[in-house]
Amino acid sequence: MLKIAVIGGRETVMGFKALGLEACPAANAEEASQILRRLTRESEDYAIIYIEENLAAQLEREIDRFKDSPKPAIILIPGRDGSIGLGQNALRSAVERAVGTNILGD
């Protein structure tokens, strides 16, 4: 069975645990990087990995490795302090690659 994980600050990820997702709290980008490597290296069971935007901003190179691969889908989510726009930019970029033009507007 495919799994879903969430990487982010403790306050962000613990709510997802109640929904049955694997909560992976990370205090900083280094911890988040180690968790991401563990989730993607040890098993191919993860279909989706949500990553808090503020950590993802520092893991851009590692996340880009999965940009064109169907599994796992890396999805950026806002943290406790709100969105910094990375998730929306990533979605816009993915749609442009798939469709060939920006259909989402500005």
Tell which residue, 83, 95, 23, 27, has the closest CA to residue 53. 83
Tell which residue, 64, 66, 90, has the closest CA to residue 76. 90
Q: Are 26 and 32 in contact (CB under 8 A)?
A: yes
Q: Is residue 60 part of a domain?
A: yes
Q: Is residue 105 part of a domain?
A: no
- Structural domains of the chain, count: 1
What's the pTM value of the predicted model, to 2 decimals?
Answer: 0.78
d(Cα 77, Cα 70) in Å, to the nearest integer? 19
6-65 confidence digits (pLDDT tens)? 999 998 899 899 899 999 999 999 999 999 999 988 666 899 999 999 899 899 999 988
CATH of the domain at 90: 3.40.50.10580
Lookup: tokens for 41: 């290296």
Lookup: tokens for 20: 């049955």
Write out the residue range of the structural domain in which residue 35 sits.
Answer: 3-99
